[in-house]
Amino acid sequence: MLIPSRRLVLLSVTLCASGLAVSFFKALAPVWLGAALLLLSSTLVDAARVRRIATPVAGRQVAGSLPLGVTSEVRIRIENRLGRPLSVDMFDLHPPQLDAEQLPQSVVLPASGWSEVHYLIRPHERGDTEFGRVQLRITSPFGFWQIQRQAGQPETVRVYPDFARLSGFALMATDHRLSQIGVLQRRRRGEGMDFHQLREYREGDAQRQIDWKASARMQKMISREYQDERDQQIVILLDCGRRMIARDDAISHFDHVVNAALLLAYVGLRQGDAVGLLTMSGPARWLSPRKSRATVNTILNGVYDLQPTVAASDYHLAAQDLMQRVRKRALVVVLSNLRDEDDDTLAPALKLLKSRHLVLFASLRENILSRALAARVDTFDRAITHAAVADYLHSRRQMFNRLEGLGATCVDVEPEQLPIALVNRYLEIKRSGRL
């Protein structure tokens, strides 16, 4: 497709304007007519020449896996195989799930050479996403026209949860520095834990930890060191229903629970437990509990393309499904967003799960609630809002008290607090020996 350039438009406008002047000065008519014929012939020749220009070769360099919400770089290499330079405007057909900066770009390709352009992308939605072909507008030799061509090939990339941030959590966990991200580590006292090793006595060790026989042999105080019981199971029940579409910040509630599930999976595996995952009210995904090092990657690949649906959350159906799949006692972690209408439907599901498993129900609380309570009450409308929010939170707390009365452990936090709060509660359950 041929597109007139700015140069051609300006020359044409100038020629038309001068034509008005020629109408008053007849002597200039031959000059104007010659200029018009020259411009017409030049544009026709230029159009014919630009049509014969071979399309440059374009190649895209982009990571096959992109982290959600993190800026990454895309490189486009454009190769000119002609014996003269080409002026090209480039636009990459990036997916709508990515925000792009520094597009379009103009570049001059050297004769029989290549140039490389860079631009930035930032994904705002997980899943498979596809780049189209590279769009090129090639400027004609005289600069009167631009012809649009496509180069390169479409390319599919995967947008994952922010695994760089999660790997940072993982590194701290590997180095026993979980406290730096808010995960509480308390001294073990020995009940409900497996023997790990003998070591020298440290100030603060309980008397029951002292191994008197080893102390007599070594002629110094020796203590037993214990570790949490291993070989237990964690099954994450992930709500993919419509309530998870809610969004308080750059990412949705569903993205927050996915991040929390991944961090919990990593820490659970580090604790020696098997971790599995089951979805509810959305695409059916079942990953049986495993202990291998590849389990986190398996879960990551199993949930990276999940999106919340418009389906209602059916806790009882999910509980029945999980009871059929998981026969051994496990810690069932339900990641959802509790609502008033769930009280009657959630209780039977918890009762069913509690017949065999230990249940941890983690719910997200909207940030706007805490902001509304913290806001200054200086008008009648704000007073009404403050009272309504306080009443709602009181009712919500009562609902969680009823769930805890049924034997479930509950977590109710704002979305960005969920990953750390969830891991802390899991470690408390491990220390208590309840599992």
| Arithmetic mean of pLDDT, 15-31 | 77
The helix (H) or strand (E) run that includes residue 146 is strand 145-151
pLDDT value of residue 189: 43
- How many CA atoms lie less than 13 Å away from 101 in the CB half-sphere? 7
Please tell me the predicted confidence (pLDDT) of residue 174: 44
Model pLDDT, residue 187: 46
- The residue-averaged pLDDT of 85-93 equals 92
The pLDDT of residue 163 is: 63
pLDDT at 190: 41
pLDDT of 294 strictly over 90: no
Pairing of strands 233-239, 331-336: parallel
Q: Tell me, what's the pLDDT at 169?
A: 56
Q: What is the mean pLDDT of residues 293-298?
A: 86
57-160 with 163-186+230-432: one CATH topology?
A: no
Total number of residues shown for the chain:
435
pLDDT recorded at residue 342: 62
Tell me which architecture the domain covering 57-160 has in CATH: Sandwich (2.60)
pLDDT at 178: 52
Mean pLDDT in residue range 342-351: 79
Report pLDDT for 274: 92
Alpha helices in 227-362, H assignment, sequence order:
253-270, 295-303, 315-325, 343-354
Instruction: Tell me how far CA of residue 213 lies from CA of 154, 190, 216, 221, 222, in angstroms.
Output: 71, 18, 5, 10, 9
pLDDT band at 78 (very low <50, low <70, confident <90, very high): very high
Contact 116, 110 (CB under 8 A): no
Is residue 405 very low, low, confident or very high in pLDDT (cuts 50, 70, 90)? confident
Q: How far apart are CA 204 and CA 142, in angstroms?
A: 86
**341: pLDDT confidence band, cut at 50, 70 and 90?**
low
Mean pLDDT of 51-55: 89
pLDDT of residue 195: 56
Do residues 331 and 429 lie in contact, with contact meaning Cβ atoms separated by under 8 Å?
Answer: yes
| The pLDDT value given to residue 188 | 44
Q: Cα separations (Å) of 28 from 11, 12, 13, 33?
A: 18, 18, 18, 9
Query: In 10 A of CB 133, how many CB atoms?
Result: 16
Instruction: Please report, rounded to a whole number, the percentage of residues in the chain having pLDDT higher than 70.
Output: 89
- Round to whole Å and give the CA distance between 61 and 269: 35
Which tens digits make up the pLDDT trace of 55-73?
999 999 999 888 888 899 9
Dihedral Cα 363, 365, 366, 370, nearest 10 deg: -170
Taking phi over 0 as left and psi of -120 to 50 as alpha, with beta for the rest, 210 belongs to: beta
Whether the pLDDT of residue 180 is over 80: the answer is no
In the chain, the percentage of residues whose pLDDT exceeds 90 is: 29
Domain spans in the chain, listed from the N-terminal domain onward: 57-160, 163-186+230-432, 194-228
CATH of domain 163-186+230-432: 3.40.50.410
**Those residues with Cβ within 8 angstroms of residue 66's Cβ, 6 or more apart along the chain or in another chain:** 72, 98, 121, 123, 157, 158, 159, 160
Of the ranges 161-170, 177-186, 393-402, 423-432, which one carries the lowest mean pLDDT score? 177-186
